[in-house]
Structure 1
């Protein structure tokens, strides 16, 4: 890939003042054809967390150009600029998606979110056919990791059992240094579980294996993080349809960890084990979804058709 100096800015897709992120759409030259037109690229920039080392010593030495914005009694406020730091203590974390597809542009663009209800019938008749129609190439990167072709150096844990096994690696949103924002990903070795909807009592050994081994592995791999400080959850809908579990520090504020998208792994296990072996194929699931998501279009389109038929 070309350097970021070749990135030609087009427009801002989204910015989040709480998460301190901004997503930019632009172009980069073709990596294979020097005379070809530039291809779409998305640049995601995130302000990193302050490390304890920075907070204790270096951070105040790097502050420059203080601008007072007000004061009241014992409180004083400033805007400031940080002088250039070192790669060992970076200020920004960046991700590039290249070449970016229309689906990527839609995903990272600012959009309204709506609460919608997906019934089992809607899933079977509308959502499942759409999932099954997705090209295999969209999750080729997952199979590259599982087979050891890519990111071998990032794998923190590997269980190769074809039925219950999984691998663990850092999530791309983690800076790999700040424990209070710890964010890992467990990816199942199985390729027959696409999402929450596929889970049945037959998958309990896999789910329990993931839970138990992660809760043992994280404190060992990351001293200072206890097993009761680890949060395990699954997204529905997930960003890609190959079963995976999100692993975060319990207080970490990460995208998708709120009600309306995340389902705790322990709750999933309990629902299948104690309520109904096929709980997730029978349940109506209510969740928040961006209006640009294809699933939202499918469900809202079906609802509009039903309203027209009732008139």
Structure 2
């Protein structure tokens, strides 16, 4: 998709004034090819183009202001100032900005097309609740649901691991089938502002779905990820020291193939707060020094949107049949 000129707005799914994000649902017309079987005696088929309306989601985010002197022309792009008040030496304004440059865009956008009902539910505004998942509930109710998810939902992950997509974005590739992983920029990072650095390390192993699967045999992989990223980031991104790197794992993750989030310690990113993130060093320590099966036995309390299927599964397990 290269244009949104045919986008038809449906509704706002969510907005966050703190993170400066907006999520829109809409539709676009898409030309599809239909195949029609011919007569049995002629053994021929015909094709025809049809116009289909396809739902799409737009994830829109305000980009970080450029700070390099050669790019800090923001004041030259202000076309109008609207006063909203003043007090002594303080003055507040709203500003209208002229169109940005290609190398310094004002907005970053992710398009999900076609969007499924699961996508729409995931990105819609929803209440979040703290909920406890016991080991028993996980194994009886949550794990079967995870195992039922089709591989196609994370095909984009295998496209990256197999070198079919985003090859130009790979910062590090370790092809070892047991401890290997790849590192690439997260789509939420603008790839230039070091204070908001956000990378993703994705394991080569397909048998680790989440934190719950980790045990002693995975320590070499976890330490390999930690140690190589600690060496990579200061070398690749001059100005970031090793003690400014934060590595954590989400539970529940947004997709069930083991991955580690890597950010600058000062970056304010979604999911980095208590109730969703688990520091990689703490995970290693819990398995190595407390219990090899720590995450298979633990009751884990976390924040989850009420639209998430796991929330319903846990609530149903806690309350029992009605």
Inter-CA distance 157–253: structure 2 relative to 1 (3 Å threshold): same
**CA–CA distance in structure 2, aligned partners of residues 225 and 207 of structure 1:** 22
Say which of 277, 288, 293 aligns to 1:262.
Answer: 277
Q: Residue in 2 aligned with 1:82?
A: 97
Q: Is the 2:32–2:52 Cα contact (8 Å) retained in structure 1?
A: no
Q: Is the 2:305–2:311 Cα contact (8 Å) retained in structure 1?
A: yes
Inter-CA distance 130–54: structure 2 relative to 1 (3 Å threshold): farther
Q: Residue in 2 aligned with 1:15?
A: 15
Name stretches of at least 5 consecutive residues in structure 2 with no aligned partner.
34-48
Inter-CA distance 153–31: structure 2 relative to 1 (3 Å threshold): farther
Q: Residue in 1 aligned with 2:38?
A: none
**CA–CA distance in structure 2, aligned partners of residues 177 and 54 of structure 1:** 14
Where do 1:163-178 residues align within 5 Å? 163-178=178-193
Inter-CA distance 57–123: structure 2 relative to 1 (3 Å threshold): closer
**CA–CA distance in structure 2, aligned partners of residues 260 and 57 of structure 1:** 37
Q: Residue in 1 aligned with 2:253?
A: 238
Q: Residue in 1 aligned with 2:75?
A: 60
Where do 1:114-263 residues align within 5 Å? 114-263=129-278
Q: Residue in 2 aligned with 1:69?
A: 84
TM-score under structure 1 normalisation?
A: 0.96
Give the greater-gyration-radius structure (CA). Answer: 2
**Aligned residues: CA RMSD:** 1.3
What is the DSSP-based 3-state SS (H/G/I as helix, E as strand, rest coil) of the residue aligned with 1:29? strand
Name stretches of at least 5 consecutive residues in structure 1 with no aligned partner.
none
Say which of 51, 69, 74 aligns to 1:36.
Answer: 51
1:64 positional shift: 1.9
* Aligned residue pairs, count: 307
1:98-152: CA deviations, max 9, x gaps? 0011111011000000000000000000000000000010111111100001111
Determine which structure has the larger helix proportion and give its number: 1
Q: Is the 2:20–2:61 Cα contact (8 Å) retained in structure 1?
A: yes
**CA–CA distance in structure 2, aligned partners of residues 297 and 206 of structure 1:** 33
What is the DSSP-based 3-state SS (H/G/I as helix, E as strand, rest coil) of the residue aligned with 1:37? strand
Q: Residue in 1 aligned with 2:307?
A: 292
What is the DSSP-based 3-state SS (H/G/I as helix, E as strand, rest coil) of the residue aligned with 2:80? strand
Inter-CA distance 137–272: structure 2 relative to 1 (3 Å threshold): same
Q: Is the 1:2–1:29 Cα contact (8 Å) retained in structure 2?
A: no
What is the DSSP-based 3-state SS (H/G/I as helix, E as strand, rest coil) of the residue aligned with 2:274? coil
Asked if residue 283 in structure 1 is aligned to residue 304 in structure 2, the reply is no
1:220-262: CA deviations, max 9, x gaps? 1110011110100000000000000000000100010000000
**CA–CA distance in structure 2, aligned partners of residues 12 and 54 of structure 1:** 36
Q: Is the 2:31–2:50 Cα contact (8 Å) retained in structure 1?
A: no
Q: Is the 1:2–1:31 Cα contact (8 Å) retained in structure 2?
A: no
Inter-CA distance 48–175: structure 2 relative to 1 (3 Å threshold): same
1:84 positional shift: 1.5
What is the DSSP-based 3-state SS (H/G/I as helix, E as strand, rest coil) of the residue aligned with 1:253? coil
Q: Is the 1:2–1:28 Cα contact (8 Å) retained in structure 2?
A: no
**CA–CA distance in structure 1, aligned partners of residues 13 and 71 of structure 2:** 36
What is the DSSP-based 3-state SS (H/G/I as helix, E as strand, rest coil) of the residue aligned with 1:5? coil
Asked if residue 273 in structure 1 is aligned to residue 278 in structure 2, the reply is no
